[in-house]
Chain A
Amino acid sequence: MSKSYYDPADLRKFGEITEWSEELGKKFFDYYGKVFEEGALSAREKSLIALAVSHVVKCPYCIDAYTKDGLQRGITKEEMMEAVHAGAAIESGATLVHGVQMMNKYKKLSM
């Protein structure tokens, strides 16, 4: 048993989750594969979205996977960093928009 919560080598074992729940695991990976196929959005665009979301959900496995995926697709480091900022802007915006709630409550409680 590893003494750290995250081991980079565990990403290779992701598929093993199917062993303990074959039906759900299979449905998930079929769905996952389908999502990232070329569609109305290109596979390249989806890779950048996945990279941004990986940062927002702070998944180290996903960041490794979609940085590599981006490199393979010829996505530049400037594009990758802009995607990360897009994710970060939404995440910080989601925090800051709660400021309105704070302001509302402040006003309500104040004379």
Chain B
Amino acid sequence: MSLKSLKAREDDLSSPQRQLELLSEGIFEEGELPTFKDKIAESGHFPLKPKKLEILQLNLGYMCNQVCSHCHVDAGPDRKEVMTKETMQQCLEVIKNTGAHTLDLTGGAPEMNPNFRWFVEEASKAGIKDFIARSNLTIILANKKYHDLPDFFKKHNVHVVSSLPFYKREKTDKQRGNGVFDKSIKALQLLNEVGYAQPGSDLKLDLVYNPSGAFLPTNQAAMENDFKKALKEDFNIDFNSLFAITNLPISRFLEYLIASENYEDYMYSLVDAYNPAAVENVMCTNTISISWDGWLYDCDFNQMLDLKVNSKVKHISEYNEDLLNDRNIIISQHCYGCTAGAGSSCQGSTI
């Protein structure tokens, strides 16, 4: 595993344009596989339009203490892009007036943003129903200044969603780095200790499973049972739900697919598993993603591909929910990742 981001390595694939070219060349250009546009047109879903806005997802920055091999953000310690307090203030204005019921903070490691705690305190006053922070868990143990994060999350009733690729050490460390599994387990135990996922507690702790390789996730409920049983028996850990998320063929996961000669097979798997029912609930129809520098996107993946919303309104400074809800969603072949099998979103399966 490389310890640097694609960007720091000045790799071709750090360019969104190059990634989009790759996703349109070869098997898609030659017609071996249908483009996503043609595929959704078959079932009358083109152009893809938003439904009611439910989730505002804020990317607080690409800086992270980990360099996971599947990361679609290309996050890492060498990424310096973090949301400023000024942009956060613009976001707070939007949060106060939005019709969305969920606020979802992601990164990178969102906790590494120097204004993270200030922002959570302010945003939690806005009365959002579900306030999510996506934590990679190891950040809690990475430095003394983060050790009290479980108490901080509890104080503000933050719904913690944590990545844990597998309930065994080997696969987790292979994807996320040596020692990540043990630290993640310790962090989950700390969250349980302050009341997360405990009987009678409102504090929610969900886990994210994503395959550690060139294959798709299987049945989310079956996987949740396996995770619950193993984590309880081996480590006495409790959690609420497991979200099974498909790896999308962009950024570092795309790099892995190409380097391991799995790219074509993976795209075939995604296209073969295409499920029109999953298109109905695809997350870009109920989400707006906001980047560290305030630009608006249909989803976090489009953010990484620099595909800004197709609307007159493109930046948080000019945010207008009615105008945004009238847009056409921008698609490319990576979108097959959200429509395979039981569907995939930041909230797990969609059907």
| Residue ranges of A at the interface with B (Cβ–Cβ < 8 Å) | 12, 43-44, 68, 71-74, 76
Contacts and interface: CB of A to CB of B under 8 A. Distances in A.
20 contacts: A12-B268, A12-B272, A43-B222, A44-B222, A68-B215, A71-B211, A71-B213, A71-B215, A72-B211, A72-B215, A72-B216, A72-B217, A72-B218, A73-B218, A73-B222, A74-B166, A74-B218, A74-B223, A74-B226, A76-B168
Interface in B205-230: 211, 213, 215-218, 222-223, 226
Interface of B: 166, 168, 211, 213, 215-218, 222-223, 226, 268, 272
A44 B221 CA distance: 13
Contacts, number: 20
A72 B327 CA distance: 36
Contacts of B216: 72
Contacts of B166: 74
B112 to A, nearest CB: 31
A73 B222 CA distance: 8
Contacts of A44: 222
Interface centre among A43, A44, A68, A72 (most CB of B within 10 A): A72
A68 B272 CA distance: 14
A2 B213 CA distance: 29
A12 B217 CA distance: 19
Contacts of B272: 12
A106 B222 CA distance: 55
A5 B315 CA distance: 57
Contacts of A68: 215
A102 B217 CA distance: 50
Nearest to B272: A12
A71 B212 CA distance: 9
A76 B230 CA distance: 13
A12 to B, nearest CB: 6
A-B interface, 6 closest residue pairs, ranked by CB to CB distance from nearest:
A72-B218, A71-B215, A73-B218, A72-B215, A68-B215, A74-B226
B198 to A, nearest CB: 26
A71 B211 CA distance: 8
